[in-house]
Amino acid sequence: MVRKFEAERAEDLGKAARALYAKGKSIRAISEQIGASRSYVHRILMRARAEHLAAIVSQRRIAQGNDPLPPGNIISMGAISLHNRRYVH
């Protein structure tokens, strides 16, 4: 059975999971420490990574301007990579 957290608790768990992961903790160790399943912790971390990558691609695109991007441009490749990650899982 799926156990859902309240929004405030989920936000706190997300912050704690990201902080522990940044310190080098494994997903298993994080899940034991914060009291959430490994899959929940994994989803939190993958969502945070996707948001971070999207922000990077957006910032680079803004800096590039409105001109069309040439094939193989790092922004194009980052966007393609981000797009593929969203649909793989």
Q: Is residue 2 part of a domain?
A: no
Tell me, yes or no, if the pTM score tops 0.85.
Answer: no
Look at residue 1 and tell me if it is in a domain.
no
Which are the contacts of 28, defined by CB distance < 8 A and separation ≥ 6?
A: 38
Q: How many domains does the chain have?
A: 1
| Residue 72 maps to a domain | yes
Q: pLDDT of 13-43, one tens digit each?
A: 999 999 999 999 999 999 999 999 999 999 9
- Rounded to an integer, the average pLDDT of 3-12 is 80
How far is Cα 73 from Cα 34, in angstroms, rounded to an integer? 40
Of 24 and 57, the structure prediction assigns the larger pLDDT to 24
Query: What is the domain extent for residue 19?
Result: 7-88
